[in-house]
Chains A and B, each alone.
Chain A
Amino acid sequence: MTQVAEPEATRWVGGGLKRKEDPKLITGQGRYVDDITLPGMLYLAFARSPVAHANIASIDTSAAKGLPGVVAVYTGPELADEWAAAMPCAWPVTSRTYPGEPTADARVPDHWPVAKDRVRYMGEIVAVVVADSREHAVDATEAVDVDYDELPVVDSIEEAVADGAHVIHEQFDSNELYTWNLRNGDADRVFAEAPVVVSERYFHPRLIANAIEPRGIVAQPVPAQGEFTVWSATQIPHFLRVFLTLLLGIPETKIRVIAPEVGGGFGSKLEIYAEELITVALARKLGAPTKWTETRSEGYLATVQGRGVIQDMEVAATEEGRLLGVRVKLQADMGAYASLCGPGIPILGAFHYHGVYDCEAYSFTCTSVFTNRTPTDAYRGAGRPEATYATERIMDALARRVGKDPAEVRAMNFIPPFDQPRMTAGTLEYDSGNYGAALAKAKELVGYDALRREQQAGDGGRDG
């Protein structure tokens, strides 16, 4: 059973009140996007690329158009006029040594909601079917006939950075979006002179958010007024409105975006998606309400993924285990395109690879690259789990190296308690912290000392 330590309640703040939202949610009275049905509504389904990298040699939608219930089928070139701009990247990080000036331009390749002549990841949309029912729409996607001229696949970070790697976006000279640096103090000297250096490499595979509710969108036009009401399973209705304006040319004052009940996001609904743009564009084009709902397996390809990072992490320390410096190099997998915030995710962790510990020298470098896979973006923690993972694993490695208990090495290196902003090695001013208190409490709750004794006494028994 879960044991919960509760603080004292003040009046309402601090008290454990049951959630007001829950009665309607757990009795099925909540209204999610997929619950919305409008008169005359048309349903969308997407034909998606089964290959990771290919030119579209030809695409024939005539058979699909002839299937029962199909109202229209569109390819990328046929929808080109709908877009006033390409899909947005709101965080076009450039190469630089922060806070210095950029040393290169942002590398944001054009990304269109429906592929025009080339697909760059398995699952990229190649055609849109509009029909009178979801089933008819899905059936018709199977009848869209596409001839793919396959291209070399850049299937990993290692392949993306290799000499002679195939360049996915030909307008650039490599698969690199940026190399971003942060330096504080003289890490090279500190590492060169340190008595102890511990290095490890960590790999963060891509993760799939699996929010309980798949994505979906309904767009309802009022054609005579050029007005639109859009319901989307999104974390960012305000941003969606802004980008619908920028990308579809609809005045902002004519768009209302509603995020109804949304069943989780974890970052995967923090995105401006092709499906959203297409659904609204087709509501405009056809003058009818349109709807799309994602399936779970479709989402695995179509919804942004998380993580996808390789880290080379190093700490320099004294023989006693006192930290002197942190140096880390990252390689981050952006996927086939620059997503809304994807380039910035590693940057969110850039400033705190030293964690809650003090040290005098700090060096961070991240190279982000394109690969032929679903684009990555934020996933619960977004850059900070990666950073904390590297910090905490290397602290254990450091403890092993200097022959001390991992909790002891941490306590030795904590920034001492503080309640006002305090500058740290990564150049952030942390707001407050009392790291020793949480460690002491956690040790007490788990029975740490007894556990360690038990571990030493036994054969280890593979208890960690």
Chain B
Amino acid sequence: MEVCGWAPSQVLGTLQYAGGGWERASVRCNPTGKVTVVAGTSPHGQGHSTTFSQIVADDLGVTPDDVEVLAGDTSIATWGLDSYGSRSLSAGGVAIHKAAERVREKARILAAHELEVAEEDLEWTDGKFQVKGAPDRAKTVPELAFSAWAAHNMPEGVDPVLEASAVFDPPNWTYPSGTHICVVEIDPDTGSTRIDRYVAVDDCGTIINPMVVDGQVMGGVAQGIAEALYEEAIYDENGTLLTGNMSTYRVPSAAELPGYTLGKTVTPSSTNPMGVKGIGETGTIAAPPAVMNAVADALRFVGVEFIDKPASAEKIWRVVQQAQGQAPPDRAPEGGGTGAASMTPGVEGGAA
């Protein structure tokens, strides 16, 4: 499991972190019906524009294509605490949702006024405000956005334009969890490890977009497998980085990685009204021990008591030699403290 969704500001203060953990968003309904969301988070590959559009689309009865998400510019997103620590959805997305709800609340007042009914006589159904018992009498948020912009007929005490902002300071972190199981096969002659099967079942609470969730898990698991079997920054005793580029620092490619079987359970978070938790970091959190436990489990059969990561082919070869009493001379690769060679997938392209 992990703790993420950075974070309750007050708790951050007690931990001596200099900043806060709130997030702010605004939702603006433009007069021609499209919606602009301004997010304080700062995407760099996570697909925020898509997931945030989905949230607002449900909240306001529009489609995701009607929604434009702006972020990453301090002149546009004037307030924000950016993206890291799996916070963009559970802090940022919740702020967006709150802002959208405020927009809908104002829209409800407008709708009641225009339809000349009491607010209690309206219901929000199929993405619009309908008069109970008379569904043909309805108003959509885009229609109300135009009215609020023209402002010809505003109710008493209600200002023109249809927009709202919200700040959300999470009362708690969120705690995604899951179970990953890895099956490996090790070539006894070379120490090479092949991943036969990799199953990842993750629980990130309420799911906004399962494809985005899958993408995050797959990317994280790739980096986690890399950490378990391939990657290691090696320094020598002079402080020289020996693994100074991608030839020596072994970032694995798709050819080395297995296909994954992905599953989900959903246990909504109690931290926020949407029940969402984070997912961006779960792969790198779960995969290294899953893979290493598999390697250790396999090597038990040849008397190896312990092995640490990265479990490169050379390292596996050495620990097996030692366990079987045939320790080679203890001369490690030049300058490095740990076996630096990594493993081969053994079969072309790894498992399908």
Q: Give chain A's interface residues, CB within 8 Å of chain B.
A: 1-7, 10-21, 51-53, 90-94, 98-99, 102, 106, 121-123, 153-156, 200, 202-208, 210-211, 234-239, 241, 255-260, 262-267, 269-270, 296-297, 300-301, 305, 307, 341, 344, 347-348, 351-352, 355-356, 371-374, 378, 380-382, 384-385, 388-389, 391-393, 396, 400, 406, 417, 419-421, 428-435, 437-439, 441-443, 445-446, 448, 451, 459-464
| Residue in chain B with minimal CB distance to A153 | B239
- Residues in B neighbouring A356, C-beta threshold 8 A: 1, 177
Asked if A438 and B203 sit within 8 Å, CB to CB, the answer is yes
Kindly provide the distance from the CB of B10 to the nearest chain A CB, expressed in whole angstroms.
12
Kindly provide the distance from the CB of B228 to the nearest chain A CB, expressed in whole angstroms.
9
| Residue in chain B with minimal CB distance to A236 | B82
- Residues in B neighbouring A384, C-beta threshold 8 A: 2-4, 281, 285
Give CA–CA (A1, B351) in the complex, Å.
9
Looking at B156-164, B245-253, B324-332, the stretch in contact with chain A turns out to be B245-253
Asked if A463 and B298 sit within 8 Å, CB to CB, the answer is yes
| Residue in chain A with minimal CB distance to B276 | A13
Q: Say what secondary structure dominates the interface of chain A.
A: loop
- Residues in A neighbouring B188, C-beta threshold 8 A: 462
Asked if A205 and B73 sit within 8 Å, CB to CB, the answer is no
Asked if A270 and B58 sit within 8 Å, CB to CB, the answer is no
Selected from A265, A385, A433, the residue in CB contact (under 8 A) with B224 is A385
Selected from A234, A238, A348, A380, the residue in CB contact (under 8 A) with B280 is A380
Selected from B42, B227, B245, the residue in CB contact (under 8 A) with A297 is B245
Selected from A7, A156, A300, A431, the residue in CB contact (under 8 A) with B175 is A431
Q: A2-B261, A17-B209 are in contact. Are A11 and B175 (CB under 8 A)?
A: no
Q: A10-B58, A207-B227 are in contact. Are A352 and B1 (CB under 8 A)?
A: yes
Q: A347-B15, A385-B288, A438-B203 are in contact. Are A155 and B74 (CB under 8 A)?
A: no
Looking at B26-34, B116-124, B143-151, B230-238, the stretch in contact with chain A turns out to be B230-238
Asked if B265 and A441 sit within 8 Å, CB to CB, the answer is yes
Q: A13-B55, A432-B268 are in contact. Are A400 and B300 (CB under 8 A)?
A: yes
- Residues in B neighbouring A300, C-beta threshold 8 A: 233, 241, 243-245, 249
Give CA–CA (A5, B178) in the complex, Å.
14
| Residue in chain B with minimal CB distance to A347 | B15
Q: Is B218 an interface residue (CB 8 A)?
A: yes
Asked if A259 and B42 sit within 8 Å, CB to CB, the answer is yes
Kindly provide the distance from the CB of A391 to the nearest chain B CB, expressed in whole angstroms.
8
Asked if B261 and A6 sit within 8 Å, CB to CB, the answer is no
Q: A300-B249, A389-B288, A406-B293 are in contact. Are A12 and B84 (CB under 8 A)?
A: no
Give CA–CA (A382, B285) in the complex, Å.
9
Looking at B45-53, B102-110, B133-141, the stretch in contact with chain A turns out to be B45-53
| Residue in chain B with minimal CB distance to A385 | B285
Give CA–CA (A435, B176) in the complex, Å.
10
Kindly provide the distance from the CB of A368 to the nearest chain B CB, expressed in whole angstroms.
13
Kindly provide the distance from the CB of B123 to the nearest chain A CB, expressed in whole angstroms.
16
Q: Is B270 an interface residue (CB 8 A)?
A: yes
Q: A17-B64, A373-B235, A384-B281 are in contact. Are A429 and B269 (CB under 8 A)?
A: no
Asked if B238 and A380 sit within 8 Å, CB to CB, the answer is no
Q: Is B40 an interface residue (CB 8 A)?
A: yes
Q: A205-B233, A259-B44, A443-B181 are in contact. Are A238 and B81 (CB under 8 A)?
A: yes
- Residues in A neighbouring B201, C-beta threshold 8 A: 438-439, 441-442, 445
Selected from A5, A91, A307, A446, the residue in CB contact (under 8 A) with B181 is A446
- Residues in A neighbouring B223, C-beta threshold 8 A: 266, 380
Give CA–CA (A96, B263) in the complex, Å.
41
Q: Is B179 an interface residue (CB 8 A)?
A: yes
CB-CB nearest 3 A-B residue pairs: A52-B239, A460-B301, A464-B298
Q: Is B80 an interface residue (CB 8 A)?
A: yes
- Residues in A neighbouring B318, C-beta threshold 8 A: none
Residue picked from B83, B182, B295, most chain A C-beta under 10 Å? B83
- Residues in A neighbouring B299, C-beta threshold 8 A: 462, 464
Give CA–CA (A60, B95) in the complex, Å.
54
- Residues in A neighbouring B14, C-beta threshold 8 A: 98-99
Report B48-102 residues with CB < 8 Å from chain A CB: 49-50, 53-55, 57-58, 63-65, 72-75, 77, 79-85
- Residues in B neighbouring A301, C-beta threshold 8 A: 241, 244
Kindly provide the distance from the CB of B75 to the nearest chain A CB, expressed in whole angstroms.
5
8 A-B Cβ contacts within 8 A?
A: A4-B214, A11-B127, A52-B238, A205-B232, A206-B233, A239-B19, A258-B72, A460-B298
Q: Is B168 an interface residue (CB 8 A)?
A: no
Kindly provide the distance from the CB of A153 to the nearest chain B CB, expressed in whole angstroms.
4
Selected from A1, A52, A91, A205, the residue in CB contact (under 8 A) with B234 is A205
Asked if B84 and A7 sit within 8 Å, CB to CB, the answer is no
Asked if B209 and A3 sit within 8 Å, CB to CB, the answer is no
Selected from B1, B73, B280, the residue in CB contact (under 8 A) with A259 is B73
Q: A388-B1, A460-B301 are in contact. Are A91 and B239 (CB under 8 A)?
A: no
Kindly provide the distance from the CB of A143 to the nearest chain B CB, expressed in whole angstroms.
22
Give CA–CA (A83, B298) in the complex, Å.
56
Asked if B239 and A434 sit within 8 Å, CB to CB, the answer is no
Kindly provide the distance from the CB of B19 to the nearest chain A CB, expressed in whole angstroms.
6
Q: Is B184 an interface residue (CB 8 A)?
A: yes
- Residues in A neighbouring B271, C-beta threshold 8 A: 421, 431
Give CA–CA (A202, B292) in the complex, Å.
11
Q: Mark B245-279, 1 if CB is under 8 A from A, else 0.
A: 11001010000000111111111111100000100
Report B170-209 residues with CB < 8 Å from chain A CB: 172-175, 177-188, 196-197, 199-203, 205-209
Kindly provide the distance from the CB of A386 to the nearest chain B CB, expressed in whole angstroms.
9
Asked if A12 and B57 sit within 8 Å, CB to CB, the answer is yes
Asked if A381 and B239 sit within 8 Å, CB to CB, the answer is no
Q: A17-B211, A258-B72 are in contact. Are A445 and B239 (CB under 8 A)?
A: no
Kindly provide the distance from the CB of A280 to the nearest chain B CB, expressed in whole angstroms.
14
Give CA–CA (A147, B174) in the complex, Å.
52
Q: Is B18 an interface residue (CB 8 A)?
A: yes
- Residues in B neighbouring A451, C-beta threshold 8 A: 183
Kindly provide the distance from the CB of A150 to the nearest chain B CB, expressed in whole angstroms.
9
Asked if B4 and A210 sit within 8 Å, CB to CB, the answer is no
Give CA–CA (A123, B224) in the complex, Å.
27
Selected from B16, B181, B289, B295, the residue in CB contact (under 8 A) with A92 is B16
Selected from B63, B199, B239, B246, the residue in CB contact (under 8 A) with A446 is B199
Asked if B199 and A7 sit within 8 Å, CB to CB, the answer is no
Q: Mark B286-311, 1 if CB is under 8 A from A, else 0.
A: 10111011111111111000101110
